[in-house]
Amino acid sequence: MKTRKIPMRRCVGCMESKPKKELIRIVAAADGQLSIDATGKANGRGVYLCPNSRCFALAKKKRAISRSLEMEIPAQVSERIFEELKQYERTDS
């Protein structure tokens, strides 16, 4: 029996490739709304982050999310997203 291919994605914080299921997806919808996609299947352009505070801090410092999504993100929206990300944080990585 064939083994299934595991989809890999790159974290915009640490720039490491990891299995898609281990990462958190942030999606920008067509109308410009930014949100965290828990299912990984929402429509829109997405970026991925490791679920740890080190990667959150790196992504915030480098402005990696706005650069990867190719859109300007207001400071309020950015802060809201990083606050929401804290609930997905894992300490084992």
- Phi-psi label, residue 73: left if phi above 0, alpha if psi -120 to 50, beta otherwise: beta
Question: Domain of 48: which CATH number?
Answer: 3.30.1230.10
The answer as to whether 31 is a domain residue is: yes
Burial code (b: 16+ CB inside 10 Å, e: under 16) for 7-37 equals eebebbbbeeebeeeebbbbbbeeeeebbbb
The answer as to whether 26 is a domain residue is: yes
Prediction pTM value: 0.89
Average predicted confidence (pLDDT) for the chain: 93
Separation between Cα atoms, residue 71 and residue 13, nearest integer Å: 17
Looking at the structure of the chain, the number of domains it has is 1
The answer as to whether 3 is a domain residue is: no
The answer as to whether 77 is a domain residue is: yes
Tens of pLDDT, residues 56-73: 999 999 999 999 999 999
Per-residue pLDDT, 2:
85
- The ranges of the chain with pLDDT < 70 are 92-93
The answer as to whether 23 is a domain residue is: yes
